[in-house]
Chain A
Amino acid sequence: MSTRNGKLFALSLLLLALFSRLDAQVTSERLLRAAEEPQNWLTYSGSYFSNRYSALRQIDPTNVKNLEQKWVYQGQVMGNWQTTPLVVDGVMYITQRQNDVIALDAKTGRVFWIYRYLPSPDQKVCCGSNNRGVAILGDTLYMGTLDAHLIAIDTKTGRPVWNIEVADIKAAYSITHAPLVIKDKVIVGVGGGEYGIRGFIAAYDAKTGKEAWRFYTIPGPGEPGHETWQACPPGSSASPGSAAYCDPEAWKHGGGSIWMTGSYDSALNLTYWGVGNAGPDWNNDQRPGDNLYTDSVVALDADTGRLKWHFQFTPHDTYDYDSVQVPVLADMNWNGTPVKLMLWGNRNGYFYVLDRETGKFLLGKPFVKVNWSSGLDERGRPIQTPQPPGAPTWPGNQGGTNWYSPTYSPRTGLIYYSAWEDYASIFRKAPMPYTEGRNFGGGGSTVLGPVPNTPGMPVLRRGPINTWTDAVGHGAVLAIDPKTGDRKWKFEMTDVTDSGLLTTASDVLFTGGREGYFHALDARTGALLWKTNLGGQIVAGPMTYQVDGKQYVATVSGMNLVAFALRD
């Protein structure tokens, strides 16, 4: 090729590149209207309202039995992945352990590129090398890492654009959730609730990574809510060796981690995030007070991070009842008036309805057996009934539900949860001084079994043989009517489930579980429509998309991402 021709070629490439970049942008406007392009899946929960609901309807209750596996992407690292893919115009972006990002063809599963990031070997996470996905804006992806970095990655090349440290791994900070992009900012929170972090949510400029605002989930001196970290009472001891140990600086390592992606209401310009447990997990005696904003939802101004309101589900928690659940937003009539609602099935076993404009409590009702509280008062505050030492508490440590993505169907008007039923733990407290970067449990819990020495239900993983049986707890998909808090139906499983849920406009609900089955249920009745055995545990949230006129539904099972569509 001559030099002149080379110049022409180069110029044409440049012009084409500039032109194409204009039409490939995932703008903040597209993110705002993500639900209107159901062929794509542009945010972790499918839309800012976090309904994990799709308007696609090609797969319906009559033909779902004709689903067939179209492709599998098998990861290179063992484990049960928790990622939810994004799909943008036929290209899928997923994460795999530890902190890799992969771009692949959503139609065939063939890989375009892999970005490999090796987090520092000094990173510390309580519960596995988990990552739940990426966010996108323009032609950039955003991933939080196990060593608490936030990395911007080019969508076309898989090359890093910028990489910033969000928090210090020496104090065991980490990031496991998919970031949330709002306007020109990328919002993330930090994990480390089992290590005595002081949690925060922060927003970063999407172009540069420069921090725009930070909201501490544990307010410092002079900030509203700090008074809920009360002074130690007379008679307590500052000595960790004492049974009356009380930590005079409890707020400094008060926990309040963030490990699930928040939601956003653009009309109110509020972003909502669930906040994790107080530290130490179990021994609430050493941190007197309600311990805000642990086990709460916080509503923050998306531009400034300023707190608009909060609602605390479990004050002065002693059960590790993280409130990190994905905030589900829905608009519906409440007592005859249109209200902007937030629906929340909490780890503590109660289902709540809040006014998301004000945080006002509208309804609360247990959706599983509860005995840590005898009920909620008129403001939604639990009337706590701690059980005697050695006695079981319902729900157990992992809660009535946990971080498993729920789904809300505007068609059925029902909200659906993966729940653990008939499951209790025996909690115990122990004084626990804080040491930077060390586990900060302050006690522990054991799963209640029907007879002594019953095999305990594994908290995080299981083998292929179930020896604990449903006698120590079982899983279920629960359909709840948000207007009453009552169950409409239940689909019961033998083993418990960590799977997320997906509903579609054709009234099909997809979910999985620890047993490795991937199910389709009738969202109206809970009837089983189809199932397949994928082998590995499903601990991620299913999603759906469409390419070339064909609807796909995808889920991760173990370390495999599997995509299904109707038989050709």
Chain B
Amino acid sequence: MSAQALKAWIEGIGFIAPGLPDWPSARSVLRGEAPLALAPSVLPAPSLLPPAERRRASRVVKLTLALGLEAAAQAGADVATLATVFAASGADGHNCHAICEQLATDDRQISPTRFHNSVHNAAAGYWGIATGSMAPCQVLCAYDASFGAGLLDALGQVVVDAQPTLLIAYDSEYPAPLFAKRPVPDAAGVALLLTPARSERSLACISVAPATDPAEPLAAADLEALRTSIPALRALPLLQKLAMGEGGRVCLDYLAAMQLTVAVEPC
């Protein structure tokens, strides 16, 4: 069977990384107009959550809400109607550490809130509570390949189900001692609002295909370090094209031996 194009239009972008608090700042750095001033990632307060949830919101909850809302706002999309795909290489690392630490003691009565926050889809659950969206919500993981896996499933929803889909790819850090086993340095991520048809808000069209080429490293060493140390930022070569407003192909790391090439056409 001949494959159908994995094709979508991008209407909005959200971005947070160390020293890059939003998409406009990332865009300037990716265009070479501003230097990357590395600093801990800034995670905005989750004002959309009800007060009880807001107080207890973890870093991944703040991260994903900010990413998704930035992309949706740029597109003028109603978050209460959007299907979502959350792609993350891990869940809330601090919460996981606290549970494992307590389960190694004689007092194993972990807190109920810690337990329900331990699920890989916790951030997605809070997204639903905050936005009221009852649309399908996917939550997946492919370790370092999580961005690529999320992109593939989001494009599946856009093309097969013909619905705008918000992809939120994100990662966060573990504290010690898990940090030594999985050294993700900080919280970071990217959101892309993908739509099945071109509109006046479309920024670019992307078509994704499997490949076996190596991913292109970013020319700037500091950006390349972000790309390789935070799985969600494997998307950076694509974001650089979008920042430059350039057409062409980029290759993204997925899951050896399978890579993804993305053909980008600015609108």
Are A and B associated in one complex?
A: no
| Chain B residues within 8 Å of A, Cβ to Cβ | none
| Chain A residues within 8 Å of B, Cβ to Cβ | none
